[in-house]
C-alpha cells in the first residue's frame, strides 16, 4: 500500500484540529474508545461540540494551554493509501516545527480562514514550503460556511496566493485550492452540496491521488554507505556487502559505479535484500550491495553511477533555518551531519537574514536567531559529497549540531 | 536466485535504515524484547538489516513475573533459533530487595515497576541505545515521540525540549550517562504490523490467536482468571470464553477480546474492521488522560 506523508500548517484558529478530527471521523479512523474519550472530555470542559484537538494534543501542557506545541503524527488510511500527517503548530515561534514537518513530507496542507484571508502566517507557511521545495501544496480555504460559501471570496484568496507564488523561485510547485468547511465536512472527505460552484476533488480525494514519494523521485542515484556487512561465518566467508538506503534514481547489477571520495571505479556485482538477490533496486529502498572489485569502503563513502558524481567539497553555501535558542554567529564551530556523514564546520560568513513573509532581507546580520532563515558560508573539516538541494533533497540537506549541548541547532539547504 | 526489481516498502526501508544507524552511532545498543508482536517484528527487521551477519546486539527482557507463559516459551525458542544473546532482568528481584513497592488490590499491576528494573539494567550493562517497538499511533503522548529520543541519567523524557528530526538524519550525540531510546517502527500502525507479520510469515505467540480461556469481566473488559497474578473480587465470576489478545503486556494489565480469529489472515481482517483501538484493552493507559506521558517522564518506554 502507498504511504503518503503530509504536513499541515495553519494559524492558531484556522481550525486545523477540527479538520484533522473531521478527516479521522469521516474516514472512520477514530475508534470508538477514542471518540468516547473525546466526547467525555469535551463535555467535561463545557463545550457543546466535539473538540477534536483533544485527539492530537498529546501533552499535558498542550491541553492546559489549548495549543499545539510539538509536531504530532496522525495516522489514518483509506482502502487505497496510508497517510501520515505531521501536524505542526501554527505559532510564529515554532517555525522550526513547520520546517521539520515539511522536511519529511511530500505534500502540505495550508489552511486559510476564509474570513481572514491571507495573513502573515500564511506567507510564512508558504515561504517554508517553497524553501523546502514541497512539490504539492493544497490551500484549504476553511470556514466557507461563515462566508456564505462565497465563490467570490474564495477566488480573492486564491488570487492573493497565486500572486505570492510568482515571487517564489520554485516554479515546479503545484498549488491546488479547495474550498472547505471542516466543521460541517464540506469537501473534506465527501463532496459538498453547499458549494455547487466547485466541481474539483474533495481534500481526501486529492490526497489519495498523489503519487508516493519514491516513484516521483527522478534525481540521480545516491547510495551513502551506512555500514559494512562482514558475517565472517563459514557459509558467507568472503561476503563483503555495503549496506545503505538509495536516494534517487535506481541501481542495477552490472552498472559501472564510482566510489567516493576515493573515486575508485567498479561494477555492481549483487543487490541483496535479506536472503534474496535482485537485478535492480529502486529509490527509497534499503539494501546491501556487493562490488566486483575489492575496494576499501567505509561508512560515509558513497556509491554513484559513473558519470553522475556529486560535488566533492570542503566549502558550502547554504540557506539555514536556525532552530536553537543560542543564535548562530560567524566563526562559530559546529558538528555537521550530512546524511550519514559527520564532520566539523566553521561558519565563515553570514550573508543575510531573510524575512519569511516575502518582504525582503537584512544583509550582513550579526547573528541568526531561533526561527530565522539566512544564507551562510561554511568551511568543512573533510570533503563532503553533496548535491544542490534542488537536485536531490536528501543529499542536498544537512543539520548542524551544537558541540556543547549536542542539540540539533539548525538545518541547511545547499545552494 | 535472482528476481527482478527490488522496491522495499517505505516503512520497512525506514526501520532498517534506523537500525543500521543505531549500530553505527552507538557503542552498546540493546533491543528491548517483550515477546509481543511489535518487538517480534523488530527482531525480524534487525535480522534483515544485517543479514547475512547475525543481529549485532543482545535482546533485553524486563520480566515482570506476570507474563503469559506462552510468551516466555516463544521468547526462548526465538532466541535459540537466531543465536542472539538474551538478557533477562526480573522485577521480582527489586521487589524482594525492597527497592520498589508492589501495588495491591483491584487494578494492581507491575507495569510501572518495570521502569526501575530497566534503568538498573541500562546502568549495569552501560547500554547507550535501547531499541523499542513503541509506535506513534498507539497513544497520543507517543505520537510526540522522536525516533532517537534522548533520556537523561534518570531515564527522564523531556517532552518539551526534543531535538527536531529532519529528513533521514538522526542525531545520536549524547553525553556520558545519557542514553537514547530508539523507535524504528514509530511510523507503523497496528494494521501495518499485522500486515507485515502476515506477509513475512512471522511466527508469533499463540495467545494472539483465538483460544479457550478462563476469564472474568470487569469494567467491560475481559481478564485472564489467574488468581496469583490478577486480582479478582469474589463476585467476579470465572467463565470459559473464546478470546485472543491484541496487545501483550503484563497479564495484570492486558485484557483479552472476544474473537474467533484463529489464524493470521483472520486477525488482519479483524483489525481492519475494528472500531476499538489497540490500547482500549490496556488498563495501564486508563488511569488518567496523561498516564503514558507521566510514565514516560519517569523513564518508561
Q: Which residue of B has its CA nearest to A280?
A: B5
Contacts of A411 in chain B (CB under 8 A): 164, 166
pLDDT at B22: 98
- Domain extent for B269: 204-285
Identify the weakest region by mean pLDDT among A119-133, A241-255, B203-217, B265-279: B265-279
Contacts of A223 in chain B (CB under 8 A): none
B29 in the same domain as B104: yes
Q: What is the DSSP letter of B55?
A: P
**CATH number of the domain to which B171 belongs:** 3.40.50.620
B184 in the same domain as B208: no
B142 in the same domain as B80: yes
B215 in the same domain as B161: no
Contacts of A58 in chain B (CB under 8 A): 139-144, 293
ipTM of the assembly? 0.93
pLDDT at A2: 78
Q: What structural domains does chain A harbor?
A: 2-215 (3.40.50.300), 223-305 (2.40.30.10), 311-414 (2.40.30.10)
Q: Is the pLDDT of residue B27 over 80?
A: yes
Q: What is the mean pLDDT of residues A79-89?
A: 84
B180 in the same domain as B56: yes
Looking at per-residue confidence, does A295 or A121 come out higher? A295
Q: Is the pLDDT of residue A68 over 70?
A: no
Residue B153 counted as domain residue = yes
Q: What is the DSSP string of B169-215?
A: -------TT-EEEE-TTTT--HHHHHHHHHHHT----GGGS-EEEEE
CB contact under 8 Å between A96 and B48, yes or no, is: no
Q: Which of A33, A85, A240 to mutate to test the interface with B (most CBs of B within 10 A)?
A: A33
Q: Is the pLDDT of residue B297 over 70?
A: no
B275 in the same domain as B144: no
- A312–B contact, CB cutoff 8 A: no
| Alpha-carbon torsion angle A320, A322, A327, A328, nearest 10 | -20
B188 in the same domain as B225: no
B167 strand-pairing partners: none
Q: What is the mean pLDDT of residues A103-126?
A: 90
Residues A178, A158: Cα–Cα separation, whole Å: 9
Q: Which of B55, B140, B194 to mutate to test the interface with A (most CBs of A within 10 A)?
A: B140
pLDDT at B187: 93
Q: What is the mean pLDDT of residues A222-234?
A: 94
Residue B238 counted as domain residue = yes
- Closest C-alpha to B139, from A394, A393, A257, A72: A72
CB contact under 8 Å between A73 and B186, yes or no, is: yes
pTM of this prediction?
Answer: 0.92
Please state the domain count of chain B: 2
Q: Is the pLDDT of residue B286 over 60?
A: no
Per-residue pLDDT reduced to its tens digit, A41-63: 778 878 777 777 676 666 666 66
Looking at per-residue confidence, does A379 or A166 come out higher? A379
Per-residue pLDDT reduced to its tens digit, B149-184: 999 877 788 877 789 999 999 999 999 889 999 999
Q: What is the mean pLDDT of residues A203-222?
A: 81
Phi, psi of A281 (to 5 degrees): -120, 140
Per-residue pLDDT reduced to its tens digit, B48-80: 999 999 999 999 999 988 888 889 999 999 999
Residue B22 counted as domain residue = yes
pLDDT at A69: 63
Q: Which residue of B has its CA nearest to A37?
A: B289
Strands A107-113, A361-363: pairing is: unpaired
Say how many CB pairs under 8 Å bridge A and B. Answer: 196
Estimate to the nearest angstrom the gap between the alpha carbon of B172 and the chain centroid: 22
Contacts of A20 in chain B (CB under 8 A): none
Amino acid at each position: 500500500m502507498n504511504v503518503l506523508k503530509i504536513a499541515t500548517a495553519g494559524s492558531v484558529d484556522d481550525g486545523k484540529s477540527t479538520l484533522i478530527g473531521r478527516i479521522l471521523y469521516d474516514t472512520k479512523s477514530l475508534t470508538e474508545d477514542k471518540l468516547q474519550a473525546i466526547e467525555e472530555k469535551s463535555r467535561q470542559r463545557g463545550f457543546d461540540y466535539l473538540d477534536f484537538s483533544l485527539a492530537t494534543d498529546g501533552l499535558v501542557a498542550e491541553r492546559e494551554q489549548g495549543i499545539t506545541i510539538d509536531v504530532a503524527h496522525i495516522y489514518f488510511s483509506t482502502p487505497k493509501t496510508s497517510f501520515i500527517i505531521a501536524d505542526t503548530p501554527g505559532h510564529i515561534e515554532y517555525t522550526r516545527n513547520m520546517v521539520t514537518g515539511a522536511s519529511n513530507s511530500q505534500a502540505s496542507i495550508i489552511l486559510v480562514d476564509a474570513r481572514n484571508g491571507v495573513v502573515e502566517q500564511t506567507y510564512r507557511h508558504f515561504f517554508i514550503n517553497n524553501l523546502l521545495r514541497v512539490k504539492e501544496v493544497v490551500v484549504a480555504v476553511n470556514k466557507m460556511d461563515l462566508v456564505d460559501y462565497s465563490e467570490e471570496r474564495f477566488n480573492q484568496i486564491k488570487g492573493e496566493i497565486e500572486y505570492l507564488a510568482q515571487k517564489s523561485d520554485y516554479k515546479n510547485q503545484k498549488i491546488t485550492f479547495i474550498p472547505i468547511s471542516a466543521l460541517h465536512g464540506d469537501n473534506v472527505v465527501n463532496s459538498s452540496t453547499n458549494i455547487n460552484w466547485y466541481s474539483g476533488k474533495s481534500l481526501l480525494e486529492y490526497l489519495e491521488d498523489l503519487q508516493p514519494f519514491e516513484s516521483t523521485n527522478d534525481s540521480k542515484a545516491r547510495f551513502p554507505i551506512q555500514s559494512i556487512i562482514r558475517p565472517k561465518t563459514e557459509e558467507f566467508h568472503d561476503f563483503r556487502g555495503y549496506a545503505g538506503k538509495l536516494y534517487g534514481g535506481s541501481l542495477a547489477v552490472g552498472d559501472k559505479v564510482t566510489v567516493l571520495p576515493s573515486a575508485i571505479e567498479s561494477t555492481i556485482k549483487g543487490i541483496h535484500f535479506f536472503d534474496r538477490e535482485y537485478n535492480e533496486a529502486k529509490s527509497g529502498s534499503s539494501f546491501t550491495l556487493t562490488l566486483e572489485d575489492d575496494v576499501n569502503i567505509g561508512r560515509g563513502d558513497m556509491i554513484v553511477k559513473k558519470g553522475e558524481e556529486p560535488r566533492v567539497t570542503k566549502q558550502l553555501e547554504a540557506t539555514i533555518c536556525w532552530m536553537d535558542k543560542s543564535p548562530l554567529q560567524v566563526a562559530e564551530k559546529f558538528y555537521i551531519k550530512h546524511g550519514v556523514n559527520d564532520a566539523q564546520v566553521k561558519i565563515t560568513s553570514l550573508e543575510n537574514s531573510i524575512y519569511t513573509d516575502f518582504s525582503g532581507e537584512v544583509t550582513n546580520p550579526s547573528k541568526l536567531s531561533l526561527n530565522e532563515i539566512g544564507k551562510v558560508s561554511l568551511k568543512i573539516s573533510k570533503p563532503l559529497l553533496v548535491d544542490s538541494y534542488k537536485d536531490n533533497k536528501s543529499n542536498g540537506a544537512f543539520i548542524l549540531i551544537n558541540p556543547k549541548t549536542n542539540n540539533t541547532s539548525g538545518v541547511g539547504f545547499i545552494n | 536466485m535472482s528476481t527482478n526489481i527490488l522496491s522495499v516498502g517505505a516503512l520497512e526501508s525506514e526501520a532498517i535504515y534506523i537500525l543500521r544507524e543505531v549500530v553505527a552511532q552507538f557503542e552498546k545498543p540493546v533491543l528491548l524484547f517483550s515477546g509481543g508482536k511489535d518487538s517480534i517484528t523488530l527482531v525480524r527487521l534487525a535480522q534483515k538489516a544485517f543479514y547475512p551477519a547475525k543481529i549485532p546486539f543482545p535482546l533485553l527482557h524486563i520480566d515482570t513475573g506476570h507474563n503469559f507463559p506462552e510468551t516466555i516459551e516463544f521468547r526462548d525458542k526465538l532466541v535459540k533459533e537466531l543465536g542472539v544473546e538474551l538478557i533477562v532482568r526480573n522485577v521480582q528481584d527489586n521487589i524482594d530487595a525492597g527497592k520498589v513497592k508492589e501495588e495491591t488490590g483491584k487494578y494492581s499491576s507491575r507495569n510501572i515497576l518495570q521502569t526501575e528494573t530497566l534503568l538498573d539494567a541500562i546502568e549495569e550493562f552501560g547500554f547507550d541505545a535501547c531499541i523499542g517497538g513503541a509506535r506513534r499511533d498507539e497513544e497520543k503522548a507517543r505520537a510526540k515521540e522522536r525516533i532517537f529520543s534522548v533520556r537523561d541519567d534518570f531515564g527522564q523524557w523531556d517532552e518539551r525540549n526534543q531535538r527536531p528530526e529532519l529528513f533521514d538524519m538522526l542525531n545520536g550525540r549524547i553525553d556520558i550517562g545519557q542514553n537514547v531510546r530508539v523507535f524504528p517502527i514509530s511510523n507503523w500502525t497496528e494494521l501495518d504490523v499485522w500486515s507485515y507479520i502476515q506477509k513475512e510469515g512471522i511466527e508469533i505467540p499463540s495467545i494472539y490467536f483465538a483460544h479457550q480461556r478462563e476469564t472474568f469481566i470487569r469494567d467491560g473488559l475481559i481478564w485472564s482468571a489467574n488468581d496469583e497474578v490478577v486480582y479478582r473480587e469474589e463476585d467476579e465470576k470465572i467463565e470459559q470464553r473464546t478470546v485472543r489478545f491484541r496487545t501483550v503486556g503484563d497479564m495484570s494489565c492486558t485484557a483479552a477480546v472476544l474473537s474467533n480469529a484463529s489464524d493470521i489472515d483472520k486477525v488482519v481482517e479483524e483489525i481492519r474492521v475494528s472500531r476499538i483501538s489497540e490500547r482500549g484493552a490496556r488498563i495501564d493507559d486508563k488511569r488518567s488522560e496523561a498516564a503514558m506521558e507521566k510514565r514516560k517522564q519517569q523513564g518508561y518506554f
